Amino acid sequence: MAPHLRKQLVVVGHGMVGHRFVQAAIERGLTETHDIVVLGEEPRPAYDRVALTSFFEVGAEALSYLPGGVYDDPRVTLRIDTEVVAMDATEQTVTLADGETLRYDELVLATGAAPFVPPVPGKDLGNVFVYRTIEDLEAIREASKGARAGAVIGGGLLGLEAANALHQLGVQTHVVEMAPRLMAVQVDDAGGATLKRHIEELGLTVHTGVMTELIDGDADGKVSGIKFKDEDTLPLDIVIFSAGIRPRDAIARAAGIETAERGGVLVDEQCRSSDEHVWAIGECAAPGGRMYGLVAPGYTMAEVVVDTLLGGEAGAFTGADMSTKLKLLGVDVASFGDAFGTTDDCLELVFADAVAGIYKKLVVLENATGGFELLGGILVGDASAYGVLRPLVGSGMALPDNPEELILPAGRGGGIEIGLPDEAQVCSCNNVTKGEILAAVSEDGGCDSPACVTKCTQAGATCGSCKTVVKKIVEDHFAATGKVVDRSLCEHFAMTRQELFEVVAVHGYNRFDDIIEGHGKGRGCDICKPAVASILASLLNHHVLDDSLATLQDTNDAYLANLQKNGTYSVVPRIPGGEITPDKLIVIGEVARDYGLYTKITGGQRIDLFGARMEDLPAIWKRLVDAGMESGHAYGKSLRTVKSCVGSTWCRYGVQDSVGMAIELELRYRGLRSPHKIKGGVSGCARECAEARSKDFGIIATEKGWNLYVCGNGGAIPAHAQLLAGDLSREDLIKYLDRFLMYYIRTADRLQRTSYWMEAIGGLDRIREVVVDDSLGLGTELEAAMDSHVDSYFDEWKATIEDPEKLARFVSFVNAPGTPDPNITFREERGQIQAANNEGPVSLGATIPVGGPR
């Protein structure tokens, strides 16, 4: 019998889809019959292009899918920095840039797409870039070092990612979009307007409905500005094109392979081209004449080709879910299904909250039984429901009688839960259903955690948007089957934060070593150490830099200031209620001038001083303390501010003294350590100028007293505070607030905001039972705990500058205490210093605190 001859399979392109093809080939046994040669044009192996913007924070190695550059299977050869310039379908060969020719039995094209650069005059000037590869980002970073302003041409998904990258580099950023709204393919006009407001609040400038006429250049051949049609020139130093992509099909087209009218290699449902031995997957392919610009369809194509080559029952690529969920410049945006309501007789349900910056739309269709089915939707500002809503599209599952409940906030009739059928697709990136997740955690599957499920099924492994749903499915399954769900704080403490709080309180511990010896194991980690430090601070109110406590603190608490991206710190003195005297304002100005600090007024009605060197912190604090100021605790998980309007003192609409109340509350709760930061607000009338309902606790004046609202927050997923009690006297208001805050501190999970805590303990009614009705009989105890905090309060800055041992840690180099860190540099913009652009994330390795590395 003649020996079996192995075949050679050549893959052109080693991006995310090419890498997925190789993974599937190895996992499913294609390397038993084929040697695989992968030719990657870029100078590095495949990396996570979806998370490209995070390159500035984590570096190239963290994004890599193959850090070592070698596959475990020796039958796969990867050659990077290798360009394929031609193919010959008749001879079944590919030609490399250096002239080498490789034979293939099967050829898989995974060449991806190239950025589209419109034919705008000036597009070839210096400092004009595209946004596609790590090399592109490295070039943009280098150009940004001397740049003040830049523009991204394109306001779609990639355009906003590019704008985020430019914004991270400290460049004043403009987003230019020809369509009348941002993300025109994914969101409607109202969603685009909400997204635009979010982005402009971050300091970017958005230009929609404009056309770039030309790019101006200077004498050195570099960008100097762009001119819009019928408008003046906008001065710029950098331009980034991110106006879409085009399939890279040139070598296939030149070889006579059929291509689609709008580009891309035409392929059938098995992703086979017009040549039976040539296949195309990912963005270079055009199944049915359409290109798919997302990674998930490319992964499906890769697996279809592997299965077909294996000769078994081949799958088919018949289309893809183009749903999208991502965070753009910190704003959650999701679009899924028939988002624009193109289906006949469909209905649109919309919830919009302009104050919180939230827009949600569901597209539904009434079925034959009178119920509703979900066709699609758009979520901007709060996409937390995406993981549950997207699998419902196409599932045939009936919605609640009032489907608007799916997008309304919990306090306004929403927040209901709905079960998913087993066939519902949970992870669209890797085509994983709820049933497959349940199979993974069954006895046969053997998975015992969400992390294990992700590793085994790939659910949540790509974009991560479904991880919360995966976690809930796993935990619900374990609970239903009687298996204990592990909610341990970390590997060193087999208990929740609430349980650990009670243990520390009951035993009266004041040292981490005693706690871990008695109730934990090992030496602790960066999860449990700060958590224990917070618990001890809440219970004892000792200085966080006392002997055994100093090594438990995270970076900010360890130096009583917020670390910034260039290694300097920011200093925020407390300004209770936003009220400050001219004398104190003058001192802040003098300190900023004398130490060369950048000053900015914060949203919490305080003044933030940026750019302070570590060794200067104590001297800066002393100047402020001598003027009657104290730490604002901007660095700690503690009370930050109690914001106020001017109230009845000045405003003709005010019905109570909101400033006086805000000052009283801020001085009462200052320094109160908690599971997460706490913010408050007091408004003097129903006009709500202090935005109290966006705070963890908010007070709004009435003719009869005060209304108390709790569990609101801004941030990535905003939540409106809800009314706990109304028309309260000053005494009852403080009593209920004391109880509320101490109840939260005792029972919340680590880093859990009050809005999530409320959901976890049973909602607003449960809080009202404990805080107002005193159903647990804890009222007096909670009030006493708060009184103890108030009586023992001290200013951490003042205590530090009076203690030589604590002062000794504030040096850049322990072996050269008087030497400032030479790596800290600044540039000037708008008359103030700005952090100079770093080559990567801030490293604490060069800053050795007293006592050695923590």
pLDDT value at position 814?
A: 52
Helix (H) or strand (E) holding 570: strand 569-571
Give the range among 42-46, 103-107, 562-566, 789-793 with minimum mean pLDDT.
562-566
Q: Report the alpha-carbon distance of residue 308 to residue 113 in Å, rounded.
A: 24
Which pLDDT score, from 0 to 100, does residue 515 have? 92
Average pLDDT score over residue span 83-109:
97
What whole-number distance in Å separates Cα of residue 237 and Cα of residue 521?
55
What average pLDDT does this structure show over 838-851?
34
Average pLDDT over residues 783-797: 94
Confidence of residue 271 (pLDDT cuts 50, 70, 90): very high
- Max Cα separation, the chain? 101
Count H helices, E strands: the chain? Answer: 25, 38
Angstrom distances, CA of residue 307 to CA of 143, 301, 311, 317, 843? 46, 10, 7, 12, 46
Is residue 399 within 8 Å of 373, Cβ to Cβ? yes
Of residues 738 and 435, the one with the higher pLDDT is: 738
CA 88 to chain CA centroid, Å, is: 46
Task: Say if residue 10's pLDDT is above 60.
Answer: yes
At 218, the amino acid letter reads D
User: Which segments within 686-744 are labelled E, that is strand?
Assistant: 697-701, 706-710, 722-728
pLDDT at position 700 over 50: yes
Termini Cα distance of the chain? 67
DSSP structure class, residue 692: G
pLDDT at site 5: 75
> CA-to-CA distance for 491 and 630, rounded, in angstroms?
38
The residues near 637 (Cβ < 8 Å, ≥ 6 apart) are 534, 673, 674, 675, 676, 677, 751
pLDDT in tens, 645-656: 999 999 999 999
Q: What is the DSSP letter of 748?
A: P
| pLDDT of the residue at 296 | 84
The tokens describing 213, both together, are 């006429």
Please give the full DSSP string across 104-146, using - where no structure is assigned.
Answer: -SEEEE---EEE-----TTTTSBTEEE-SSHHHHHHHHHHHTT
CA trace torsion 426, 428, 433, 438 (10° rounding):
-60
Alpha-carbon gap, residue 397 to 376, rounded angstroms: 13
Assign 257 to helix, strand or coil. coil
Question: How far from the centroid of its chain's Cα atoms is residue 24's Cα?
Answer: 29
Q: Which residues contact 738 (CB under 8 A, 6 or more apart)?
A: 782, 783, 786, 787
DSSP 502-536: HHHHHHT---HHHHHHHH--SS--TTHHHHHHHHH
Residue 842: pLDDT above 50?
no
* Mean pLDDT, residues 556-578 taken together: 90
**What integer is the mean pLDDT of 727-756?**
94
10 Cβ partners below 8 Å, 6+ apart? 36, 37, 38, 39, 94, 102, 104, 106, 107, 108
What is the C-alpha to C-alpha distance for residues 6 and 529, in angstroms, rounded to an integer? 56
Q: Looking at the predicted structure, is the pLDDT value of residue 377 above 60?
A: yes
Percent of the chain at pLDDT > 70 equals 93
Q: Confidence band (pLDDT; 50, 70, 90) for 847?
A: very low
pLDDT digits (tens, 9 = 90+) for 277-321: 999 999 999 999 999 888 889 999 999 999 999 986 667 888 877
The pLDDT of residue 735 is above 50: yes
* Per-residue pLDDT tens over the stretch 581-615: 999 999 999 999 999 999 999 989 999 999 999 89
Looking at residue 154, its pLDDT comes to 92
CB 691 within 8 A of CB 681: yes
- What amino acid occupies position 358? I
Buried b (16+ CB within 10 A) or exposed e, 232-253: eebebbbbbbbbbbbbbbebbe
pLDDT at 7 over 90: yes
Does residue 683 have a pLDDT over 90?
yes
Average confidence score pLDDT of the chain? 87
191 neighbors 339 (Cβ within 8 angstroms): no
Asked if residue 716 lies in contact with residue 707, where contact means CB atoms within 8 angstroms, the answer is no
User: How large a percentage of the chain has pLDDT more than 90?
Assistant: 54
In this predicted structure, what is the pLDDT of residue 59? 85
Least trusted range by pLDDT, from 55-64, 141-150, 293-302 = 55-64
Q: Kindly tell me if the per-residue pLDDT of 209 is higher than 60.
A: yes
Closest CA to 845 of 821, 827, 825: 821
CB atoms within 10 A of CB 122: 18
From CA 91, how far away is CA 89, in angstroms rounded? 6
What burial letters (b/e) apply to 422-451, b meaning 16+ CB within 10 Å?
Answer: eebbbbbbbbbbbebbbbbbeeebebeebe
pLDDT of the residue at 313: 63
| Mean pLDDT (whole number) for 336-355 | 88
Q: For residue 196, give both structure tokens.
A: 């635009």
Dist. CA 396–CA 664, nearest whole Å: 56
Side chain identity, residue 79: R
pLDDT at residue 410 greater than cutoff 60: no
Its sign, for the CA torsion 406, 409, 413, 418, is: positive
* Assigned token pair, 837: 């652009």
Rounded Cα–Cα distance for residues 130 and 146 (Å): 19
Question: What's the pLDDT tens digit per position in 534-566?
Answer: 999 889 888 888 877 878 887 788 889 988 888
Position 3 scores a pLDDT of 44
Kindly tell me if the per-residue pLDDT of 851 is higher than 50.
no
Rounded to whole angstroms, the Cα distance separating 165 from 412 reads: 37
In the DSSP assignment, the letter for residue 687 is T
What was the pLDDT predicted at 117? 92
Q: Which of 389-398, 522-531, 742-751, 842-851 has the lowest mean pLDDT?
A: 842-851
The DSSP result for 338-354, as a single string, is STT--STT-EEEEEEET
Specify the DSSP class assigned to residue 210. Answer: -
Instruction: Please give the average per-residue pLDDT across 60-84, as a whole number.
Output: 93
- Compute the average pLDDT of residues 438-448: 83
Q: What is the pLDDT of residue 845?
A: 33
The pTM of the full predicted model, rounded to 2 decimals, is 0.56
> Residue 837 — very low, low, confident or very high, per pLDDT cuts 50/70/90?
low
List 76's β-bridge partners, or say none.
Answer: 36
**Pair 790, 784: CB distance under 8 Å:** no
- The pLDDT of residue 2: 42
| Phi, then psi, of 21 in degrees rounded to 5 | -60, -45
Helices 528-540 and 497-507 sit at what angle, rounded to 10 degrees? Answer: 50
Backbone angles phi, psi at 405, to 5 degrees: -60, -20
Residue 345 has pLDDT above 50, yes or no: yes
Q: What does the alpha-carbon distance between residue 552 and residue 531 come to, in Å, rounded to a whole number?
A: 9
Whole-angstrom distance, CA of residue 509 vs CA of residue 486? 25
Which of 34-38, 106-110, 352-356, 437-441 is predicted least confidently? 352-356
Distance CA 597, CA 616 (A): 11
368 or 188: which leads in pLDDT: 188
Give me the pLDDT at residue 465, please: 63
